[in-house]
Structures are given as C-alpha cells and as structure tokens.
Amino acid sequence: MKIYNTLTRKNEEFKALLDKAVTFYSCGPTVYDHQTIGNLRTYVLYDTLRRVLEAEGLEVKHVMNITDVGHLTSDGDEGEDKLEKGAKSSGKTVWEVAGENTEEFKRNLEQLNVSLPRLAKATDFIEQQIAMVQTLLDKGFAYQTDQAIYFDVSKLDSYGRLTGQKLTDKEVGARAEVVVDENKRHPQDFALWFFLVGRFANHEMNWASPWGQGFPGWHLECSAIVHSTLGDPIDIHSGAVDLIGTHHTNEMAQTEAAYGNSLANYWVHGEHLLVDGRRMGKSLGNFYTIKDVTDKGYEPLSLRLLYLQAHYRTQLNFTWRALSAAEAHLKNLQAWADLKFQSHLGHKNRAADVYGWALDKIKVELNNDLNTPQALSELSKLVALAEHEGVDTQKLQPFLEQIDRLFGLRLAGRQDIGEVAKSLIAQRESARLTKDWVKADQLRRQLSDQGIEINDTEHGPIWSRSARQRPGE
C-alpha cells in the first residue's frame, strides 16, 4: 500500500512499526457547535484509510481526540476560547455545550457509517498535559510569563520540518497581532498553559497546576493523548490540510522536545470541501450540516459517496446538484445490490470469477494512495456488466460484504421486499406473458404506489426501489 506522506512530500510504501498492527491518531472536532459537512469529509477520510488498512490484514488501533477546552477562535494564541464563546451564545455551560455537541458528532458519524474510533476528550487528559508541560519546562523548551507558559520554538532546530518552512521565514511572515503577550520571546512561540488572568480571568474550565489555576493550550492535548494511549512514534497521524502549518507543526515540536521521539512516521492530510466554489466555513456563513442534507431528503450515505468520488488530496466543490448526482449513483448501486434477492437472475457470468477480478482491481486503486474515484469506477464497470450479462446472485452477497468493508455504503445489509410485493410482481409477469396489458399496467401502478419500480428484461422482470421524493419536489 502506498500513501502520500506530507512529511516527505511523496507517495511512500506504507510500512507499519509492527508487522500486523497499526497505530493511528487523527485530529477530531472542537465541540463548540455543529459539525459542517466540510468537517465530516475529513472523518470519512480517516474511516476509509482504516478500512483499507484492515483489508490488508492489519489490526488498526485508532484514537481520535475531542477538543472540549483550549481551542481559541484562531489557530494561534489570540481570540476567545471557542467553547466559552459557544456557551455564551447558547446560554448553556461549557460542559453542556461540549457534551451535547459530542453526542451529535457521534450521531453524524453513525449516519455516515464511520466506525467509531476510541474517542479521547482533552478534559480527560489534563493530568497528562500538565506532566508534559513540566517535562518541557525541565528540559528548557518552555518558559513562563504572567499570562501563560509558552513553548520556545527557537530551542528546537527541527521546528517547522513538516511544512519545510524555516523559522526565519516564519519571522518575516509573522503578523504583529499574533503576539498577544508582550513577554513572548518569538511570535511563533505557542501557549502550553494559560493562566486565569486578563481575557481568561473568568474562564469557566480551569484546573489546578504547579504554576497556578489555568487550562491547556489547544496543541498540547494531541501530543499528550498520543503519548498516553498509543506511545510515540505512531504509524499515522491524520487531519485536514489547514492543520499542517500550525497545529500539527506544534504537536510535532512538543513531542520531539519532550520525549526525544518523532510523533508519527506518516502524516496524511485531507483537502477542503468548497461550497459553490468557495471554502466552506462557519465564519463565512456558507456552511451546511448533515441535518441540512437530510432535511432536503437526501440519504447521508449519498454524502459519503460524494466524498469518495473525489480524491482526498483534491478540493471537492459541494453543490446540491453534485449531491443529487451522487444520490443517483448510490441508488444505482443499491438497485444492483438488490439483485441478490432476485433468484430468477441467478446464472453465472461469462467470466469465471468476475467478482474476484473486480475486487482485485478495486484494491489496487485503493492501495494507491486511497484512489477512491478510480476504485468506484472499477465498481461501476462491474455494475454495468450485470446489465448485459446478468448476475451471479449466489456470489453477489459475499462480494457486497467485501465492498462494504472498503467503501462503507451499507449495500450488503439491504432487506428484501415483502411477500405481497413479490406476489404482485409474479401476477404482473403472468399477465404480461398472456398479453393482458391492462392488468399488467394496473399491477405496475400498484407496485409503484408501494415504492417499487419494474424493469422488464430478457432475463425476466427486475424490481428496484423508487427514489424518495425530496421536500419541495
């Protein structure tokens, strides 16, 4: 399997530290609000990567954090805490906001058929974060001011190697307003621990530490969680592309300084989702949630398929027309999956093992840096073949189970239609064979009213479920 490694800027053959096990950490949500469908694209990437690794016979130990404290309204050290801001606007406590949005996030993942990794809340790892800060202080990589404890980026020669940007280059591009604390030594120094002073004097979430009451900076949690749950280095660290320059760069620096190890051997990043050609964002007011998708009558799995139709390292432009096209593609796959219930089609294809051949082709594409668009193209070729050569219904179900393990589209678990509908189909076929067209058309309408469409073929009638009508159509 080859994967693009942001650290080396090239496709690399993946080799786990252990023969049959993979340690995998991915950055999760900041649970101050609903997750956008742009956020959710990243979690489908994580899920797809895990599925492909498991298909190669590897056991994947996957941990994802939940940021429920410390993430400010910028990725640097300026602005408000997002959780505190969300609590103020909702009239709830930060704990309530974090809890409710975490549960909603888990529901979103279930809707998209994303297997739940081990979720690690930042607030459950405060002790480990404090210990890491102390280690960095003891080793001379951190310093204390009246407002916070900062990581001193000038003390780590390898700082910035994830982006390939030297610290001197960052000095030139640094914005003056980033330096909130006048006692910061360098604009790129980042907070490890904030004290309850100034803008954070009334910060609702705070804990005792050897240096006084306060709360952790955003970057600290991931390093501490990885070290505590997976050890370091790990095999894979993943996230969205906007995390490379600040969050992941700072994570890497903390871990290397504190523990003398690299954080991860492979860094995998997913590109942005655009909406109507512009970057989607809550601050821009142009974002959609999965509720917006379902309120318009779309299946959440249509959204998952839309994500998979684009390579994870390319930007994907979301439009409702694009989602409708993905839904049509999903309906076609579902209709093909339903052929397993139609035993009268059960003859063998001309190819000796068309399913095995197709599965091999699909895996080749997925093992090439998760090339999901081309893998789906190979699947579509098999679906098209069924239209011309029929389908081996006995082999279809095991193949669907393999496809579900790779793409997560829930094709294998689809249910058969009821006996009443089957009886109507049989009656209609009898009427058609005796050329009783009036009765045949009447029975077709009855079936259509039940959400079942009939297609007459040389192999016999094929039923499929009608597309759901969306609100407003």
In this predicted structure, what is the pLDDT of residue 438?
93
What is the value of pTM for the model shown?
Answer: 0.91
Greater confidence (32 vs 263) lies with: 263
Predicted confidence band of residue 78 (pLDDT cuts 50, 70, 90): low
In this predicted structure, what is the pLDDT of residue 167?
65
Predicted confidence band of residue 301 (pLDDT cuts 50, 70, 90): very high
Q: What angle do CA 185, 190, 195 make, to 5 degrees?
A: 95
Give the lowest-confidence range in 192-196, 346-350, 426-430.
346-350
d(CA 293, CA 324): 11
- Give every CB contact of residue 336 below 8 A, 6+ residues apart in sequence: 383, 386, 391
Share of the chain above pLDDT 90, in %: 64
d(CA 225, CA 62): 12
pLDDT score of 305 more than 70: yes
Predicted confidence band of residue 177 (pLDDT cuts 50, 70, 90): very low
Q: Three-class SS of residue 243?
A: helix
Amino acid at 246: T
Give the other-Cβ count within 10 Å of 39's Cβ: 22
Greater confidence (167 vs 128) lies with: 128
Predicted confidence band of residue 276 (pLDDT cuts 50, 70, 90): confident
Predicted confidence band of residue 70 (pLDDT cuts 50, 70, 90): low
pLDDT score of 29 more than 90: yes
In this predicted structure, what is the pLDDT of residue 183?
87
Do 282 and 195 meet the contact criterion of CB atoms below 8 Å apart? no
In this predicted structure, what is the pLDDT of residue 416?
84
Residue range 92-113: mean pLDDT, rounded: 94
Give the lowest-confidence range in 28-32, 34-38, 413-417.
413-417
In this predicted structure, what is the pLDDT of residue 343?
67
d(CA 411, CA 404): 6
Residue 281 sits at φ, ψ, to 5 deg, of: -165, 145
d(CA 460, CA 342): 10
Tokens of 314: 């390319």
Instruction: Determine if residue 369 is left, alpha or beta; phi over 0 gives left, psi from -120 to 50 gives alpha, anything else beta.
Output: left
Burial of 79 (C-beta count, 10 Å sphere; 0-12/13-18/19+):
middle
Do 190 and 197 meet the contact criterion of CB atoms below 8 Å apart? no
In this predicted structure, what is the pLDDT of residue 421?
87
Per domain, the residue ranges of the chain are: 2-270, 278-407, 419-465
pLDDT score of 371 more than 60: yes
- Give every CB contact of residue 357 below 8 A, 6+ residues apart in sequence: 351
Tokens of 127: 């002790």
pLDDT score of 442 more than 70: yes
pLDDT tens string 332-345: 999 899 888 886 66
Q: What is the mean pLDDT of the chain?
A: 89
Predicted confidence band of residue 375 (pLDDT cuts 50, 70, 90): very high
Share of the chain above pLDDT 70, in %: 90
pLDDT score of 220 more than 90: yes
Amino acid at 65: N
pLDDT score of 270 more than 50: yes
Strands 142-144 and 118-121, bridge-based pairing = unpaired
In this predicted structure, what is the pLDDT of residue 455?
85
H or E stretch including 373? helix 372-389
In this predicted structure, what is the pLDDT of residue 387?
67
In this predicted structure, what is the pLDDT of residue 471?
53
Greater confidence (82 vs 412) lies with: 412
Predicted confidence band of residue 468 (pLDDT cuts 50, 70, 90): low
Give the lowest-confidence range in 71-85, 265-279, 411-425.
71-85
pLDDT score of 84 more than 90: no
Greater confidence (210 vs 75) lies with: 210
- Select from 3.90.79.10, 3.30.70.120, 3.40.50.620, 3.30.465.10 the CATH code of 2-270: 3.40.50.620
User: CA nearest 265: which of 11, 9, 17, 1?
Assistant: 17
Predicted confidence band of residue 175 (pLDDT cuts 50, 70, 90): very low
pLDDT tens string 158-172: 999 999 876 665 554
On the question of a cis peptide bond just before residue 233, with omega within 30 degrees of 0, the verdict is: yes
DSSP state of 61: E
CA atoms within a 13 Å half-sphere pointing along the CA-CB vector of 243? 25
In this predicted structure, what is the pLDDT of residue 92?
86
Residue range 295-301: mean pLDDT, rounded: 96
